[in-house]
Structure 1
Amino acid sequence: MKKIFDNTQIAFALKSNSQLNTSYFLFKMMSFKPLVKIGTAIIPFALKIKLPVENLIRKTIFNQFCGGINEEDCLKVVDILETKAVSAVLDYAVEGKVAESEFDNALQKMLRIIEFDKERQAIPFSVFKPTSFGRLDLYEKIGNHENLTDAEQQEWQRVEARFDKVCQEANQKNVSILIDAEESWMQTAADDLIFKMMRKYNTEKAIVFNTLQMYRWDRIDYLKEIHQFAKNEGFYVGIKLVRGAYMEKEKERAEEKNYPSPICASKQETDENYNLALQYITNNLDVLSLFAGTHNEESAYYLMELMQQKNIAVNDSRIWFAQLYGMSDTMSFNLAANGYNIAKYLPFGPVKEVIPYLIRRAQENTAVAGQTSRELEMIIKERQRRKNA
């Protein structure tokens, strides 16, 4: 497979010299673990005591990783991305809500986003987290088959109704819906509910997509299981594949509560799982559709190879590549330039409200081996190319 991810001219064509320099500064800062640790502790505290840091955050890390504070803000970014054949997934990145009124507000926000997306070819997917529609503790209780009080039963019915309303709306508006994965101890209930939505709404194609975290050693078996159900019953399955985002939390909880860790024993095992899932899905595109969320170049090349081997068109509507906005532009824009379906996750929300998301991005870039160094390497390469041009 021809290597395409080193073309920095294509990757950073949309960035001015000033924007490229800002990105360089941010990733350089994120390469220092102690600095990230201090910064992620200080930022929430500074906002809490009303220090005037919001504008600084917006001009730096917020602009790097977010599309704006609302949908209209994001349109500017969406339109720019579309000039390079890159689609967007609007992701309302506000999290950590626990009240019923907040869950209802999240539902209304999702319905508005779907309505916003329906006329825009450049925004083919919407996305939400299960815990934006209900309490994590309730998902956990349902997944463990614990007895619910009458009030909890009614609460769960409201969670189901929110899921159903969004999936129904997505189906009617022909906007595919990605449902994110979260902690393993709440995921069983979410999986069952998403499966129910697939059965109901994926009758003609994959509209509802579940997310499988391939750092979990049980996900390949789960993929095969739901595929078999879909094949037998005549509906379609949408799968968003990721490696996973809660590894430390998962390991700590398993140790604390003395149960086997759901996480693969090594990164290599996770990588093998991810690639096995790519292989399985591309072997079964008559039923399965794929949204491959990855910043791993080897997995992206592997998927490209599988498509070539199986004579799958690069723009086959059943296969999408995806990366987060502000990261892995060398993958995203070069894939798009070669005709593949590519989407950028475009988080948005009020600056103060998306701080947890931004902190995770900073921590992720520090924690993932080679991530920040790769980003920096490509930015430095492009700065040098422009200097010599």
Structure 2
Amino acid sequence: LLHQWLILQACRIPYLPNLLGPLLRVSHALHLDPITHWVLSQTAFSHFCGGRTPQDTLPLMNTLASHGVFTILDLGIETDPAEETSTEMGEDRADMVANGIIQAIRTAKDQPETMVALKVSALTSLPDHLVRWSDGLREARRRFHSLATHPAPSKDQAASPLDITSSILNSHRRISKLCDEAAAASPSSPSVPLLMDAEYSSVQPAIRHLTLLLSQTYNALGPQPLVYDTLQMYLREGPLVLTESAEDAMRDNRPYAVKLVRGAYVARERRDAEAEGRPDRVWASKALTDAAYDGASSWLLSRSADTPGSTHTVLATHNARSIAQSLDAASSVSSAAPSPYMAYAQLLGMGELVTARLRQRGARVGKYVVYGEVSDLVPYMVRRVEENAEGVQGGGD
């Protein structure tokens, strides 16, 4: 407890969260990564992460389960579309990530209610191809009638359509393999829901399109959805994407499954918008983001109440006000608690009071348990400190 308290106090030191990223970059330039990673393993890693492998997280998962909290396993490896790598190296890395997620799925099958999260960019050989595909999808939405003769705006470097298509098809193959593994069920080994994590807005159209394809296949197999979309409500397009996605599911006669978040990349999104000379895709203020999130939460709750089983929602937030509003609204439309169609989630090491209050109210609640090697989880740990400092106090987003 003292160790956790000290880490939380460090997160509240003025300017330290904003300095952490630059300090780590200086450390890397000075070839001090082994020392830095050891320090992180004893501090941020031990607090915000569950272990290096899915098996390492089992004691924690059992402890959470004993308190009525389910686990969402998340291999925290991230890839940046701006990073350069060869196709061969990228394919090997993506295959390694896929194998790591398969281990998480197999671990989850032995733990009731456990979910598994994944990042499409980490399963793509060249994440920049997701950017290019997303550019094309945006262009297609604006000018679908002339897409063939008007190339989508993208990077200066050339990338052939064949390369991009091959990369995306390989991503789809990997994720389909994960879905097959997660869907395989028996009386003693249930299926494992997969949460498709949201990433930078530059790749979101591609991720959303892949999620749609997978949902059309795997969420039509039965009443319980396998594939969950993730919507970032700090994006201006969030409310429109939500209604369009739900309508797509209704037309396909399949349940709509979604994890709702505010978003964790505000600083990066604003920098990218300025660098590219385009309008910011993020709402101009936190108040507008809060309104979008709470409005989406209310809309999903009403939809679920009107047609039980049509909508399965995970509200991923540390914001106590948003959660209280959701719980009060749920109580007003249904006396049944907890709803099998609504769950809440917080990050390990954050929002502990919020999680406890949810359990007291009888809600279904889970913890995001990130695992992986310390060196792979540095971006995740930095972001937890930089952008969620309020959350560790129990009232953030």
Scaled by the length of structure 1, what TM-score is found? 0.85
1:239-254 paired onto structure 2 within 5 Å: 239-254=258-273
Aligned counterpart, 1:358: 381
Q: 1:225-284 CA deviation, whole Å, 9 max, x = no partner?
A: 121121122011111000001112112222222222111121111111111111111122
Q: State whether structure 2 residue 299 is matched by structure 1 residue 280.
A: yes
Q: RMSD of the alignment, in Å?
A: 2.1
Please point out which of 175, 187, 192 is paired with 2:209: 192
Superposition deviation, residue 334 in structure 1: 2.3
Aligned counterpart, 2:12: 31
Q: Which runs of 5+ in 1 are unaligned?
A: 1-18, 377-389
Please point out which of 62, 78, 100 is paired with 1:109: 100
Aligned counterpart, 2:166: 154
Contact 2:354 / 2:394 at 8 angstroms: preserved in 1? Answer: no
Secondary structure of the corresponding residue to residue 88 of structure 1: strand
What CA distance in whole angstroms lies between the structure 1 residues aligned with 2:267 and 2:20?
Answer: 20
Which is further off, 95-104 or 208-217? Answer: 95-104
Q: State whether structure 2 residue 23 is matched by structure 1 residue 42.
A: yes
Please point out which of 205, 225, 234 is paired with 1:206: 225
Judging changes above 3 Å, is the alpha-carbon distance between structure 1 residues 49 and 211 closer, same or farther for their aligned structure 2 residues? same
Aligned counterpart, 1:233: 252
Please point out which of 329, 348, 352 is paired with 2:371: 348
1:32-71 paired onto structure 2 within 5 Å: 32-43=13-24, 45-46=26-27, 48-50=31-33, 52-71=35-54
Q: 1:140-160 CA deviation, whole Å, 9 max, x = no partner?
A: 111222484323222221111
**Higher relative contact order structure (alpha carbons within 8 Å, sequence separation ≥ 6):** 1
Contact 2:79 / 2:127 at 8 angstroms: preserved in 1? Answer: no
Judging changes above 3 Å, is the alpha-carbon distance between structure 1 residues 154 and 345 closer, same or farther for their aligned structure 2 residues? same
Contact 1:323 / 1:343 at 8 angstroms: preserved in 2? Answer: yes
Q: 1:158-180 CA deviation, whole Å, 9 max, x = no partner?
A: 11111222122222241100011
Secondary structure of the corresponding residue to residue 244 of structure 1: coil
Superposition deviation, residue 45 in structure 1: 4.8
Superposition deviation, residue 125 in structure 1: 0.6
Judging changes above 3 Å, is the alpha-carbon distance between structure 1 residues 109 and 273 closer, same or farther for their aligned structure 2 residues? same
What CA distance in whole angstroms lies between the structure 1 residues aligned with 2:378 and 2:235?
Answer: 27
Judging changes above 3 Å, is the alpha-carbon distance between structure 1 residues 53 and 142 closer, same or farther for their aligned structure 2 residues? closer
Q: State whether structure 2 residue 349 is matched by structure 1 residue 326.
A: yes
Contact 2:319 / 2:394 at 8 angstroms: preserved in 1? Answer: no
Which is further off, 356-365 or 56-65? Answer: 56-65
Secondary structure of the corresponding residue to residue 273 of structure 1: helix
AA partner of residue 17 (structure 2): V
Superposition deviation, residue 345 in structure 1: 0.3
AA partner of residue 337 (structure 1): Q
Judging changes above 3 Å, is the alpha-carbon distance between structure 1 residues 218 and 68 closer, same or farther for their aligned structure 2 residues? same
1:367-382 paired onto structure 2 within 5 Å: 370-371=390-391, 374-375=393-394
What CA distance in whole angstroms lies between the structure 1 residues aligned with 2:22 and 2:277?
Answer: 29
Contact 1:216 / 1:262 at 8 angstroms: preserved in 2? Answer: yes
Aligned counterpart, 1:125: 115
Superposition deviation, residue 53 in structure 1: 4.7
Secondary structure of the corresponding residue to residue 327 of structure 2: helix
Which is further off, 331-340 or 202-211? Answer: 331-340
AA partner of residue 120 (structure 1): Q
Q: State whether structure 2 residue 91 is matched by structure 1 residue 100.
A: yes
Superposition deviation, residue 58 in structure 1: 2.2
AA partner of residue 96 (structure 1): T
Q: Which runs of 5+ in 2 are unaligned?
A: 137-151, 153-158, 186-190
Identity rate, percent: 24
Secondary structure of the corresponding residue to residue 206 of structure 1: coil
Q: State whether structure 2 residue 231 is matched by structure 1 residue 216.
A: no
Aligned counterpart, 1:22: 3
Secondary structure of the corresponding residue to residue 43 of structure 2: helix
What CA distance in whole angstroms lies between the structure 2 residues aligned with 1:180 and 1:28?
Answer: 29
Please point out which of 69, 77, 92 is paired with 1:86: 69
Contact 1:143 / 1:186 at 8 angstroms: preserved in 2? Answer: yes
Q: State whether structure 2 residue 165 is matched by structure 1 residue 175.
A: no
Judging changes above 3 Å, is the alpha-carbon distance between structure 1 residues 375 and 162 closer, same or farther for their aligned structure 2 residues? same
Contact 1:126 / 1:178 at 8 angstroms: preserved in 2? Answer: yes
What CA distance in whole angstroms lies between the structure 2 residues aligned with 1:312 and 1:281?
Answer: 17
Contact 1:176 / 1:208 at 8 angstroms: preserved in 2? Answer: yes
What CA distance in whole angstroms lies between the structure 2 residues aligned with 1:274 and 1:229?
Answer: 21
AA partner of residue 110 (structure 2): E
What CA distance in whole angstroms lies between the structure 2 residues aligned with 1:175 and 1:296?
Answer: 27
Which is further off, 150-159 or 186-195? Answer: 150-159
What CA distance in whole angstroms lies between the structure 2 residues aligned with 1:45 and 1:257?
Answer: 26
Scaled by the length of structure 2, what TM-score is found? 0.84
Secondary structure of the corresponding residue to residue 126 of structure 1: strand
Secondary structure of the corresponding residue to residue 77 of structure 2: coil
What CA distance in whole angstroms lies between the structure 1 residues aligned with 2:77 and 2:246?
Answer: 32
Superposition deviation, residue 61 in structure 1: 1.6
What CA distance in whole angstroms lies between the structure 2 residues aligned with 1:281 and 1:25?
Answer: 38
Superposition deviation, residue 326 in structure 1: 0.2
Judging changes above 3 Å, is the alpha-carbon distance between structure 1 residues 360 and 152 closer, same or farther for their aligned structure 2 residues? same
Superposition deviation, residue 23 in structure 1: 2.0
Secondary structure of the corresponding residue to residue 144 of structure 1: helix
